């Protein structure tokens, strides 16, 4: 019988995850740690990052925390250098950090446009810029970027988020073309509405009652419920693991059939 450790090929892999103090990032860190990876949590929130790390350690996983602002080139470069110094390699990079501002193009302030684009799109660029040379030294690896269903179609009152996530989708394809020769696979996971702090914050931004907003977010899709962070983590697991060694440049939609 094949053991799951052999099936996924994640034992002792070094996985770097951004925005991993909560939500999808944390669920993915937990899952990769359960399957034997040494997970490195990068997050700007130091308190939450340390709590998330302790939770994984308490379950017997291997985890470390590094404070990192993904919009800062110096922060990203320093984090990757420190990770290489301590662990000697990077096998998996999950560019997951993101924020949303629910405004249309007229009402959106320039600073919020910059913030959303910088965290989701520039952050993926910067971490990849510094991580790819480390991956290339060790015969490649897997990069997974978090897009969104709204990176594939438009959404209301979310112009900067839609633009950022559409950019992430095509950034993924371009990176896959450029770095396949280094045995680096680059893929994108596009979640639908998922029960995370980010989604709950949207209710506040839109001045809607939180529970009613969550219920409405689940309506209209064939599998009529919200996604869970673990639903998305399972998709990231596939793209990070040896189950997808010939998968690169793809966009995997995980949304309960919402875009079907």
Q: Which residues are catalytic?
A: 161
- For 203, half-sphere exposure in the C-beta direction (CA atoms, 13 angstrom radius) is 17
Q: In what order do the strands lie in the sheet with 38-43?
A: 62-67, 38-43, 14-18, 92-95, 141-146, 184-191, 251-254
**Cα–Cα distance for residue pair 73/29, rounded to 1 Å:** 23
> Quick check: helix, strand or coil at residue 56?
helix
**Cα–Cα distance for residue pair 106/158, rounded to 1 Å:** 11
* CA triple 2-57-36, angle to 5 deg: 20
Q: How far is CA 113 from CA 45, 72, 100, 101, 110, in A?
A: 21, 16, 9, 8, 5
For tokens 């966009």, name the residue: 251
């Amino acid at each position: 019988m094949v053991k799951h450790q052999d099936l996924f090929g994640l034992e002792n892999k070094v996985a770097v995850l951004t925005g991993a103090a909560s939500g999808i990032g944390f669920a993915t860190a937990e899952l990769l740690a359960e399957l034997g990876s040494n997970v490195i949590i990068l997050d700007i929130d130091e308190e939450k990052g340390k709590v998330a790390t302790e939770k994984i350690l308490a379950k017997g996983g291997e985890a470390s925390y590094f404070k990192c602002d993904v919009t800062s080139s110096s922060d990203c470069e320093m984090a990757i250098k420190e990770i290489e110094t301590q662990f000697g390699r990077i096998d998996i990079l999950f560019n997951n950090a993101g924020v949303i501002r629910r405004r249309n193009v007229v009402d959106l302030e320039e600073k919020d446009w910059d913030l959303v684009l910088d965290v989701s799109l520039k952050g993926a660029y910067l971490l990849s810029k510094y991580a790819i040379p480390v991956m290339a030294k060790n015969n490649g690896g897997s990069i997974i970027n978090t897009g969104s269903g709204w990176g594939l179609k438009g959404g209301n009152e979310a112009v900067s988020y839609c633009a950022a996530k559409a950019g992430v989708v095509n950034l993924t394809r371009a990176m896959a073309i450029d770095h396949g020769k280094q045995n680096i696979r680059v893929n994108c996971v596009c979640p639908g509405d998922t029960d995370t702090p980010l989604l709950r914050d949207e209710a506040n931004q839109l001045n809607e009652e939180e529970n009613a907003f969550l219920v409405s977010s689940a309506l209209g899709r064939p599998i009529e419920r919200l996604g869970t962070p673990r639903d998305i983590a399972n998709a990231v697991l596939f793209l990070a693991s040896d189950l997808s060694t010939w998968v690169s440049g793809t966009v995997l939609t995980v949304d309960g059939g919402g875009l079907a």
